[in-house]
Structure 1
Amino acid sequence: MSNFDVAQLAHVELYSPKPEETVKFFTDIMGLQVSAREGQSVYLRAYEDFYHHTLKITEAKEPGMAHAAWRASSEAALYQRVQSLEKSGYGKGWIEGDLGHGKAYQFKTPDGHNLEILWDVDYYQAPDHLKTALKSRPQKRPNIGVPARRLDHINLMCNDVTKNKNFMSEQLGFKLRENIVMNNGQEIGAWMSVSPLVHEVALMNDQRGGKGRFHHIAFWYGYPQHLMDVADLLVENDIVIEAGPGKHGVSQAYFMYVFEPGGNRIELFGDSGYLIFDPDWKPITWTEDELEKGIIWYGSPLPEEYFLYGTPDITPAKVK
């Protein structure tokens, strides 16, 4: 297979039991723009996202990730990946498309996360009042909230990190950038990408023993200072900050984790960490003894809830 068949994370669909409150969080606090509304769904994008949408919010009984979509590097690459996915046994089949993109091939991870791969996309066209003279930006910088600049990555909770890591590598060409391995040999975290970003997908062990759950979606703000600015807005608007601002050792990311009103965890990313241009990059492994600095380089420790809560929620009180 070609290591360049998958180009980037294209969009993510999240479920929310409080869709209007969730959309208000993304628009009023994070500065995302509504591209369209259709049925029970709202399509949004950050102001430096070039596609029709990078986030879809759909009404549902429970929060969680409905699916994540990856864009192939060409139409030929799309069909090449589909052939491999069909042989893997994890393929689900084609859909005709959705608002903002053409036909897509749906599949699942070994853990059961719903993913799709596509090629044809619609590009955002700014109305006259949002057009900017800065030609490398698709629209003017919004003057609401502390606007997020673009979609960055997703984090998926897994019953078996290694199995899912191997799937992302073998079927989609993702490269392992960093991982965490415990003294007993268990791999509990893996950070992977198809671009110079340190990760577009992170896989973490589900300590509750669940399968196919969602940990968080991350949007990039550009500067760590913006995390301090948006923290003020969050507190004054009764949005729960779970952790941060702080810095991870893994990925060197400046982070803040919050819960949107529907219950999904959102990471506000104040820096993109480091970029990898070395074609012979060797993955960085953090051991159990190095875990403290790997998780928190500086800042307050992450709460226990960070390692246990995912969506859908399966905390003991929810287990039937």
Structure 2
Amino acid sequence: MGVMRMGYAHVRVTDLAEAKAHYANTMGLYETHAEDGRVYYKGWDEWDHHSVVLEEGGVGVVKFGWKVRYSSDLDEIERRAQAFGVTVERMSRGENPEIGDGIRFTTPSEHVFEVYHEATLIGTEVGTHNPDAFPRHLVGVGVPGLDHALITAEDVKGMERFLTEVFDFYATERVQTSLEDDADYIGTWMTSNNQIHQLAVIGGPQGKLHHFAFKLGDWSEVGHAADLFSMDDVPIDVGPTRHGITRGQTVYFFDPSGNRNEVFAGGYLAYPDRPVHVWTPEQLGKGIFYHARELNDRFTTVLT
């Protein structure tokens, strides 16, 4: 079974025109489709039809899409989700533009997940025949693509078990109340491949979004993004800085509706047999913000 990656993040925004200015002009995403109240985007190095969907009318996450390697994976994930006690429904080709048949369910954290195998192939902005390293005329930050998301749940340990049993994810990093086997989980960072994390879960209200993130190449690109955020008056939450957890370099910031975004670079390669990095609460500040070594109230309380 193979969940390859987070295929799309579908979020609500209060003002679609303001959101389009942010995601297209500042972040540099490419618009691929628009319909009443919704706009679809992809990054320059993504080949499927879209990875971000903006829907006018509020804030927060509507749903996440997950792309699997084989069509048979849909049946296997459906079976596993039902065995876990989750109600699964089938979704048909076209319910999401340019996305094939799939399944849909609500997780124990009350987030909607859609799982699919087929998406319309558009291709990257540099193509596959003798491709250049990047497009010559990037706009704004010019993010290559969607990277990961962080959500909140009342039962972090239960969500880790769900993602393990249903998606074959494994934990790369974890925050625990202690080093004992029966410790409670404060946060977990999980993946199915070598990416340091595809989805992180921290303790908090059900169904909420902390942030969704775009990948960048290195420290210099993270710093350049921060400069552009200042030019465009984008509210910066934290950074540029480094995480202790994942070792990634980061800037957190807000879109015009108040949804938190991140640009993320670096991190180490994950493997299923690598021991989990375990952090305890007294070191959580250093784990999240390695340089400042402390959390601010806004970072831990602002959710959408």
Is the TM value for this pair above 0.5? yes
Structure 1 residue ranges, 4+ long, deviating more than 6 angstroms after superposition: none
Counterpart among 67, 70, 90 of residue 66 in structure 2:
70
Pair 1:309 & 2:302 matched: yes
Question: In 2, Cα distance between the equivalents of 1:53 and 1:168?
Answer: 24
Aligned length: 299
Q: Which amino acid in the other structure matches residue 289 of structure 1?
A: E
Identity score, percent: 25
| Residue among 84, 87, 90 paired with 1:88 | 84
Answer yes or no: is the 8 Å Cα contact 1:31–1:148 preserved in 2.
yes
Distance in 2 between residues matched to 1:304 and 1:142, nearest whole Å: 38
Who is 1:221 aligned against?
216
Check whether the contact 1:180–1:288 (CA below 8 A) recurs between aligned residues. yes
- Superposition pairs of residues 1-320 of structure 1, within 5 angstroms: 4-60=1-57, 62-97=58-93, 98-125=96-123, 135=130, 140-183=135-178, 185-206=183-204, 210-269=205-264, 271-277=265-271, 279-299=272-292, 301-311=294-304
Q: For residue 95 of structure 1, report the CA deviation from its aligned partner.
A: 1.6
2:86 maps to amino acid: Y
**Relative to structure 1, is the Cα distance of residues 249 and 29 closer, same or farther in structure 2, using a 3 angstrom cutoff?**
same
SS of residue matched to 2:267? coil
The residue matched to 1:106 in structure 2 has which SS?
Answer: strand
Q: Secondary structure of the equivalent of 1:251?
A: coil
Q: CA deviation at 1:280?
A: 1.8
Write the letter of the residue equivalent to 2:109: D
The answer for unaligned runs of 5 or more in structure 1 is 312-320
Which residue type is aligned with residue 10 of structure 1? G
Displacement of 1:80? 1.2
Greater alpha carbon shift after TM alignment, 187-196 vs 289-298: 289-298
Query: Is the deviation greater in 86-95 or in 171-180?
Result: 86-95
TM-score by length of structure 1 reads 0.88
Matched-pair contact (CA < 8 Å) for 2:248–2:267: yes
Equivalent residues of 1:141, 1:147 under 8 A apart: no
Could you say what the CA RMSD is over the residues aligned between the two structures, in angstroms?
2.0
CA apart distance, 1:299: 4.3
C-alpha separation in 2, matches of 1:67 and 1:138: 32
Equivalent position SS for 1:84: helix
Q: Matched residues in 2 for 1:131 and 1:281: separation? A: 34
Q: Shift of the alpha carbon at 1:23?
A: 1.6
Contact 1:47–1:141, Cα closer than 8 Å, also in 2: no
Structure 2 counterpart of 1:315: none
CA contact (8 A) 2:87 2:105 kept: yes
Tell me the amino acid that sits aligned with residue 66 of structure 1: V
Amino acid of the structure 2 residue aligned with 1:19 = L
Gaps of 5+ in 2: none
CA contact (8 A) 2:286 2:292 kept: no
Shift in alpha-carbon separation, 1:133–1:70, aligned structure 2, 3 A: closer
TM-score between the two structures when normalised by the length of structure 2: 0.92
Which amino acid letter does the alignment assign opposite residue 293 of structure 1?
Answer: K
Work out whether residues 6 and 66 of structure 2, in 8 Å CA contact, stay in contact via their aligned partners in 1: yes
- The structural deviation recorded for 1:120 is 1.0
Q: C-alpha displacement at 1:69, in angstroms?
A: 0.8
Shift of 1:132: 5.0
Once residues 300 and 58 of structure 1 are traced to their aligned partners in structure 2, the CA distance between those partners, rounded to angstroms, is 36
